[in-house]
Amino acid sequence: MSMQQKAFKYRIYPTKEQQDFLARQFGAVRFIYNRFLANRKDEHLNNKKSLNYYDDAKILTDLKQQDGYAWLYDINSQTLQSSLRNLEVSYQNFFKKRSKFPRFHSKKNKQCIKIPQHFKVENNKLYIPKLKEGIEIVLHQSLSEKQTCCFISKTASDKYYVSFLCEVDIKPLAKSDKTIGVDLGIKSLLVSSDGEVIENPKFYRKSEKELAYKQKQLSKKGKGSKQKDKQRKVVAKLNEYIANCRKDHLHKISRKLIDENQVIIAESLSVKNMMSNRCLAKSIQDVSWGELLRQLEYKSKWYGRTFHQIEKFFPSSKTCNSCQFVVDKLPLSIREWDCPNCKQHNNRDLN
Q: Which of 56, 88, 286, 349 is catalytic?
A: 349
Contacting residues for 13 by C-beta, under 8 A, at least 6 apart: 135, 136, 137, 138, 160
Nearest alpha carbon to residue 76 among 37, 30, 114, 46: 114
Local structure of residue 99 (DSSP, 8 states): S
Q: Which residues contact 217 (CB under 8 A, 6 or more apart)?
A: 231, 234
Rounded CA separation 333/330 (Å)? 8
239-242 long-range contacts, CB within 8 A, separation 24+: 239/156, 239/211, 240/155, 240/156, 240/157, 240/159, 241/207, 242/203, 242/204, 242/207, 242/211
Q: What is the DSSP pairing of strand 111-115 with strand 147-154?
A: antiparallel
Give one DSSP letter per residue of 209-273, joined into a string.
HHHHHHHHHHHHSPTT-HHHHHHHHHHHHHHHHHHHHHHHHHHHHHHHHHHH-SEEEEE---HHH
Distance CA 198, CA 200 (A): 7
Which among 196, 267, 291, 297 is annotated as catalytic?
Answer: 267
Q: Of 56, 88, 183, 286, which one is the catalytic site residue?
A: 183
**210 is known as an active-site residue:** no
In one letter, which amino acid is 71? W
CA distance 307 to 305: 7
Residue 80 is given by DSSP the state H
Kindly give the interhelix angle for 289-302 and 226-260, rounded to the nearest 10 degrees: 50
Active site residue 183: yes
Annotated catalytic residues are: 183, 267, 349
